[in-house]
Chain A
Amino acid sequence: MGEHILSWMTFFPVIGAAVIAFIPSERKEVIKTVAAAAAAVPLILAVKLFMEFDRATTSFQFVEHYTWIKSFNIEYFMGIDGLSVPMVLLTALLSFLCVIASWNIAKAEKGYFALFLILEAGMMGVFCALDFFLFYVFWEVMLLPMYFLIGIWGGPRREYAAIKFFLYTLAGSVLMLLAMIAFYLNTTDPVTGGHTFNMLHMFDQANHNSWLQLTNIRHLLWLGLFIGFAIKVPIFPFHTWLPDAHVEAPTAVSVILAGVLLKMGTYGILRISYPMLPDAAVWFAPALAILGAINILYGAYCAMAQTDMKKLVAYSSVSHMGYVLLGMAAFTEAGINGAVLQMFNHGTITAMMFLCVGVIYDRAHHREINGFGGLGLQMPIYTSVFSFALFAALGLPGLSGFVGEAMIFMGVFPVYRTVAIVSALGLIIGAAYVLWMLQRVFLGPKNDKYDDLPDISTRELVTLVPIGILVLLFGVYPMPVLNLMKASLNNLIKVVAG
């Protein structure tokens, strides 16, 4: 597996899905075990990747480069750099833990786990692909299992939520598709002289023909790509699919949705828009910063008004992704490294929060914040774990959420001072909605209605504790993650902003 590590990581889950397809659906334990094994392999490979990844170079590593569809010059081109490697690690980790977290799914297990594994393959592929067409294929492949996972295994309004998610994302994809084709037709492969989907060729501005050098065209293309990615992030005002999808999705799918899928939006901007259209990126940067501030504050205020725990966490994602946008807009070392660190950290923290919401939903069968109270005495361990996640979310120093946010502010403040000051109000609002929820759910007198709720189970702890350890570890000492990314990201700043 050493040779084609990225392909193995991407396609091993597909093999698992294929195996599951042949297991009779009543053999539930076998299906789950196979799924866990299929998700475990990418995780083990991720550890290997982490060990072997060269932190010093800015070029792509573990590259696999083959011709795929010769007539259109489409290639099977995989490789990772400092931007993608944290995302790959995050995907492998969360996918495995989510399989464990899905153990008590009691409906059509076979389909669920097969689709889940295909979803993992799609996500992994997006983060590894270096051919635009391949990227697009993975991007779309991921949609389908997601649609079914929400639409079949979701809550009462699952169909509405699934279709909304699907159509919304598809609308963005169409714009991305148009931009991609425009790039394809106007980029010359320096070797063959033909059109190319190779991203590295597209990054090189010398390969762009004169049409692609027109400023208006470039701004238009940026906008097309941006809307495609913005829907995924999601950036205001394209975010309303998110709360619906989250509320209806089963716990593990919410975790993947918030933990990994949202990052694809910002990843896309950094991977594709920034190096392909650096001038447009600089031109749009102030707008990006302002959108970031809007996300932070608007998301936080909306979160404050929610009465459904899951919706609150969903809006908190909108808010926290705003920090990522803000950091990206500054083109400073601290800003962009902070942004990608925040992507990683938000992935782990929000995963903890959704898993925790799942724990209580499985027991009480509702998520009404005002319907709880006093759980701190009833479920002390669960309370500690959830509080840990919540304090990480409000940016408590010592936990990882703080590091990314602090770096983002330190990177953005010199460039967009006013936007940074306004965004810093998010520190207060963010703490307010988190603590208010914590109070309403866990504090106060014991609620007799929940006298028989058992505390968190070992299986649930198994999904939460490893993430918690990472949140603490990277909060105390973030360099292991930053070392992975800093060479590539510092190089990206040079490429984009000179």
Chain B
Amino acid sequence: MMSDNAILYSALAILGLPLLSYVLTFFFGKKLPRKGDWIGVGLMGLAELLAIRIFISFWKLGDPTHRVEGSFTWIDLGGFKVDAGVLVDGTTAIMLMVVCTVSFLVHLYSVGYMHGDRRYERFFAFLGFFTFSMLGIVLSNNLFFLYVFWELVGLASYLLIGFFFHKHSAANANKKAFLTNRVGDFGFWLGILVFFTATGTLNYFELFAHVHAGTIKGSLLAWAGVGLFMGCVGKSAQMPLHIWLPDAMEGPTPVSALIHAATMVAAGVYMVARLAPLFGPEAGMVILYVGAITAFIAATIALVKTDIKRVLAFSTLSQLGYMVMALGAGDSVNSMFHLTTHAMFKALLFLGAGSVIHAVHSQEMPDMGGLRKKMPITFVTFVVATLAISGVPFFAGFYSKDGILGSTLAFGMIEGHYLPFILGITAAAVTPFYMFRIVFMTFFGKPRDQEKFDHAHESGWSMTVPLMILGALSICAAGWQTADVGWFSRFMVKYDVPAIAAEFHMEGPAAAEHLDTSHTDDGHGTPADTHAAQADSHAPAGDAHAATADDGHGDAHHDVHHTAHVRAMAMSIGAAFLGILASWWVYHRRKVNTAAIQARLSGVHTVLQGQYFFDEFYAATIYRATLWWAAMCAAFDKYVVDGIVNGTGYLTRMMSWVAGQIDRWVVDGAVNGVAAVLQGAGEGFRRLQTGRVQTYLVYASASVLLLVLVYRVL
């Protein structure tokens, strides 16, 4: 057992190690032997060991509510303060484990994959920077620093998507990723501001207490929740901001595995799960539907894509949609459970795809085929991951995916919202179909491109070892148990919000009032752990949470949950096998003419191939409108605002010319005798307009004196 202090300092060390790797590799990498790749791998290995140590410590402790916090005041203006702090609890321990494991393996893998790249050391530097930022998100104990690291992973993602920035496609993709995320962050930041303004704090647990006490409630809470969720929509690539993730595949494949599959894109899910009590029922409904729709549309698009990384990108979107859907159904535990298993098998899928791409130098599946004999380790591990993502029993993905579908169905049965479950289960059938399509097209059949096939060979040990480790994890990560009884239950349960509030002495009458209002509208069984904890009966999700159920409805809802989970499990097993069978029938036995189906359903195919035309829609509306508006502003500035300025100048010049003319003709004509003198003055006036500064200064001084005199006289 580690002491709380030891945990805290280990966590800080885990945060610091990748930063150190970044600094060393960025500034000195070029001069070091092997360009310093051993620094990144070594330091991440060390971080991984520390993460394991914290993980074991929490596992032994077995208390999911135990948390360790340490803060210091970062900005202190007297009244206004912003803290920086670290929070470690069971959820953090899981995330540390996930991030460090995948990051370490990706570092190791990159030694082989990126070998020979001219910016090899830069790549490792950026990986270190990303890992540091990601761990910052995981460890922060307040919204301000969550936002800080949130933006920093965005930068890391920008740098790595654009790693091959000499390609236009990469340069477009990284800009798109950053800007799309900024749109989400706009809402995220405003959500943070609402919470800060309403409660005066940004610390997670203090905020939970404030929500419980009703300091912030009603529509304000709803809007603030939607704002925060916008951050998740951007970072976790949910519809309608999902458009950046497929393009982000322009980054090197290890980056896709680490950032755009396993960790960063899951940050949004982690954020909502971590802050679950801050999302009221209205926000929960938004979250539920956004997740379900994302899961469905992404899965369907994946059916028609032929670029192996793109298919995997859409499958990532779809799986993230699942996680978000579970959050909306109030089941943050299973959402995090799926995040964990998904990180393993999806990282493996990408690294496996990378291994294939490395071998055949193509991302197009029609260029592949028959590779199973040439690349046995890649093949076996890839199939393991595919079975895991398909939800086949005894593989990790089955337990977590089943938990999500069960909770969504239970939510549907209680609330009457069945659509999310229907979309989810459809995606569950589609997923094995397109995943095995990859397997069959890549590893089975005859080689379609003989030259590429002949060239292909199994990758070196630095690439295959990570594959095997992740393969083992894809089988055993769930511990063959569900989240509410397995190892996961030792790390994470739903927040006990009243207990947290009591800790801050914030229970009170306001809480009851809050509870009532949330009950009168259709707030039953919302994702808000607040409500769930206050009246457990209304929490649709928490099997894990049922232990605290204490009122009469509890049993009834428990039954609903039980029924839902049994039904969902049956359906999802059925869906998985149906999908695999169909895929086998179509892509291995080739009993179906896919071209004919494509021709018959050309409309559907066009929509799917066009990714539902989100990009085209944005290009035609938002992009065009923004550029048009910018051009209008610039033109307005040039012709109207500056036009007035120049017009004033011109008018002044005209007036002085008129004065000069009057001087010359009227005055001069009338008083011939003093003409010479006056003409001199006229010249003077005209000179004024030629921009002699001295004249202006004389003017200024004279007016000072004049005005002083005038005032004195008055």
Nearest CB to that of A136 among chain B residues?
B704
- Give A406-443 as 1s and 0s: 1 = Cβ < 8 Å from B's Cβ atoms: 11011101100000110011011101110110110011
Nearest CB to that of B193 among chain A residues?
A413
- Give A388-407 as 1s and 0s: 1 = Cβ < 8 Å from B's Cβ atoms: 00010000111000110011
> Is B630 in contact with A305, judged by CB distance below 8 angstroms?
yes
Q: A166 interface residue, CB < 8 Å from B?
A: yes
Q: A174-B700, A240-B642, A444-B171 are in contact. Are A396 and B186 (CB under 8 A)?
A: no
Q: A240-B637, A398-B148, A424-B189 are in contact. Are A174 and B703 (CB under 8 A)?
A: yes
Q: B691 interface residue, CB < 8 Å from A?
A: yes
> Is B691 in contact with A181, judged by CB distance below 8 angstroms?
no
> Is A181 in contact with B707, judged by CB distance below 8 angstroms?
yes
Complex: how many Å from CA A493 to CA B220? 29
- Residues of A within 8 Å of B155, CB to CB, are 391, 396
Complex: how many Å from CA A241 to CA B171? 34
> Is A298 in contact with B633, judged by CB distance below 8 angstroms?
yes
Q: B74 interface residue, CB < 8 Å from A?
A: yes
- Give B534-575 as 1s and 0s: 1 = Cβ < 8 Å from A's Cβ atoms: 000000000000000000000000000000000000000000
Which of these, A170, A178, A305, A443, contacts B634 with CB under 8 Å?
Answer: A305
Would you list which residues of chain B between 672 and 714 have a CB under 8 Å from chain A? Answer: 691, 693, 696-697, 700, 703-704, 707-708, 711
Q: A138 interface residue, CB < 8 Å from B?
A: no
Nearest CB to that of B187 among chain A residues?
A424
- Residues of B within 8 Å of A166, CB to CB, are 691, 693, 696
Q: A302-B637, A391-B155, A443-B171 are in contact. Are A334 and B696 (CB under 8 A)?
A: no
SS of B interface (majority): helix
Complex: how many Å from CA A298 to CA B693? 32
> Is B186 in contact with A439, judged by CB distance below 8 angstroms?
no
Q: Nearest-CB distance from A294 to chain B (Å)?
A: 11
> Is B166 in contact with A306, judged by CB distance below 8 angstroms?
no
Q: A219 interface residue, CB < 8 Å from B?
A: no
Q: B629 interface residue, CB < 8 Å from A?
A: yes
Q: B52 interface residue, CB < 8 Å from A?
A: no
- Give B634-648 as 1s and 0s: 1 = Cβ < 8 Å from A's Cβ atoms: 110100011011000
Which of these, B77, B193, B635, contacts A482 with CB under 8 Å?
Answer: B77
Q: A164-B645, A424-B189 are in contact. Are A334 and B633 (CB under 8 A)?
A: no
Complex: how many Å from CA A402 to CA B74? 14
Which of these, B171, B193, B626, B707, contacts A409 with CB under 8 Å?
Answer: B193
Q: B179 interface residue, CB < 8 Å from A?
A: yes
Q: B666 interface residue, CB < 8 Å from A?
A: no
Which of these, B168, B644, B693, B704, contacts A177 with CB under 8 Å?
Answer: B704
Seen from chain B, the residues whose Cβ lies within 8 Å of a Cβ on chain A are 74-80, 82, 144, 147-149, 151-152, 155, 162, 165-168, 170-172, 175, 178-179, 182-183, 185-186, 189-190, 193-194, 196-197, 626-627, 629-631, 633-635, 637, 641-642, 644-645, 649, 691, 693, 696-697, 700, 703-704, 707-708, 711
Q: Give 15 pairs: A residue, B residue, CB < 8 Å, sorted on A.
A: A181-B707, A302-B633, A304-B626, A305-B630, A305-B633, A337-B80, A397-B149, A407-B80, A410-B193, A410-B196, A428-B183, A429-B626, A439-B171, A444-B165, A479-B76
Please give 10 more A-B residue pairs, beta carbons under 8 A apart, in addition to A397-B147, A438-B175.
A181-B707, A236-B641, A402-B151, A410-B196, A431-B182, A435-B179, A443-B165, A444-B165, A444-B168, A479-B75
Complex: how many Å from CA A302 to CA B697? 34
Which of these, B175, B197, B642, contacts A414 with CB under 8 Å?
Answer: B197
Q: A185 interface residue, CB < 8 Å from B?
A: yes
> Is B168 in contact with A445, judged by CB distance below 8 angstroms?
yes
- Residues of B within 8 Å of A337, CB to CB, are 77, 80
- Residues of A within 8 Å of B148, CB to CB, are 397-398, 402
Complex: how many Å from CA A301 to CA B629? 7
Nearest CB to that of B147 among chain A residues?
A397
Complex: how many Å from CA A253 to CA B153? 36
Complex: how many Å from CA A428 to CA B697? 44
> Is B178 in contact with A435, judged by CB distance below 8 angstroms?
yes
Complex: how many Å from CA A463 to CA B305? 51
Complex: how many Å from CA A403 to CA B144? 11
> Is A177 in contact with B185, judged by CB distance below 8 angstroms?
no
Q: Nearest-CB distance from B621 to chain A (Å)?
A: 15
Which of these, B75, B151, B170, B700, contacts A407 with CB under 8 Å?
Answer: B75
Complex: how many Å from CA A438 to CA B162? 12
Complex: how many Å from CA A438 to CA B185? 21
- Residues of A within 8 Å of B627, CB to CB, are 304-305
Q: A477-B74, A486-B77 are in contact. Are A170 and B703 (CB under 8 A)?
A: no
Q: A305-B633, A414-B197, A446-B166 are in contact. Are A436 and B186 (CB under 8 A)?
A: no
Q: Nearest-CB distance from B197 to chain A (Å)?
A: 5
Residue with the greatest number of chain B CB neighbours at <10 A, chosen from A240, A425, A482: A240
Q: Nearest-CB distance from A331 to chain B (Å)?
A: 12
Complex: how many Å from CA A148 to CA B171? 42
- Residues of A within 8 Å of B708, CB to CB, are 72, 181
Q: A372 interface residue, CB < 8 Å from B?
A: no
- Give A284-307 as 1s and 0s: 1 = Cβ < 8 Å from B's Cβ atoms: 000000000000001001101110
Q: Nearest-CB distance from B130 to chain A (Å)?
A: 14
> Is B165 in contact with A177, judged by CB distance below 8 angstroms?
no
> Is A177 in contact with B166, judged by CB distance below 8 angstroms?
no
Which of these, B78, B165, B194, contacts A376 with CB under 8 Å?
Answer: B165
Complex: how many Å from CA A275 to CA B626? 41
Nearest CB to that of A140 among chain B residues?
B700
Q: Nearest-CB distance from B380 to chain A (Å)?
A: 39
Complex: how many Å from CA A142 to CA B188? 44
Nearest CB to that of B644 among chain A residues?
A237
- Residues of B within 8 Å of A177, CB to CB, are 700, 703-704, 707
> Is B633 in contact with A301, judged by CB distance below 8 angstroms?
yes
Complex: how many Å from CA A173 to CA B704? 11
Complex: how many Å from CA A166 to CA B688? 13
> Is A334 in contact with B77, judged by CB distance below 8 angstroms?
yes
- Residues of A within 8 Å of B711, CB to CB, are 181, 185
- Residues of A within 8 Å of B700, CB to CB, are 140, 170, 173-174, 177
> Is A427 in contact with B630, judged by CB distance below 8 angstroms?
no
Closest 5 CB pairs of A and B: A305-B634, A443-B171, A397-B148, A304-B630, A301-B633
- Residues of B within 8 Å of A10, CB to CB, are none
> Is A334 in contact with B80, judged by CB distance below 8 angstroms?
yes
Which of these, A407, A410, A427, contacts B182 with CB under 8 Å?
Answer: A427
- Give A369-384 as 1s and 0s: 1 = Cβ < 8 Å from B's Cβ atoms: 0000010110000000
> Is B78 in contact with A486, judged by CB distance below 8 angstroms?
yes
- Residues of B within 8 Å of A398, CB to CB, are 148, 152
Q: Nearest-CB distance from B639 to chain A (Å)?
A: 11
Q: A153 interface residue, CB < 8 Å from B?
A: no
- Residues of A within 8 Å of B183, CB to CB, are 428
Q: A469 interface residue, CB < 8 Å from B?
A: no
> Is A424 in contact with B80, judged by CB distance below 8 angstroms?
no
> Is B179 in contact with A431, judged by CB distance below 8 angstroms?
yes
Q: A435-B178, A435-B179, A443-B166 are in contact. Are A427 and B186 (CB under 8 A)?
A: yes
> Is B691 in contact with A302, judged by CB distance below 8 angstroms?
no
Q: Nearest-CB distance from A322 to chain B (Å)?
A: 14
> Is B641 in contact with A240, judged by CB distance below 8 angstroms?
yes
- Residues of B within 8 Å of A254, CB to CB, are none
Complex: how many Å from CA A77 to CA B449? 85
- Residues of A within 8 Å of B197, CB to CB, are 413-414
Nearest CB to that of B73 among chain A residues?
A479
Which of these, A178, A403, A427, contacts B185 with CB under 8 Å?
Answer: A427
Q: A147-B693, A435-B178 are in contact. Are A424 and B190 (CB under 8 A)?
A: yes
Complex: how many Å from CA A443 to CA B167? 8
Residue with the greatest number of chain B CB neighbours at <10 A, chosen from A159, A239, A431, A490: A431
Q: Nearest-CB distance from B77 to chain A (Å)?
A: 5
Q: A332 interface residue, CB < 8 Å from B?
A: yes
Q: A333 interface residue, CB < 8 Å from B?
A: yes
Nearest CB to that of B704 among chain A residues?
A177
Q: A21 interface residue, CB < 8 Å from B?
A: no
> Is B186 in contact with A333, judged by CB distance below 8 angstroms?
no
Complex: how many Å from CA A431 to CA B155? 12
- Residues of A within 8 Å of B76, CB to CB, are 479
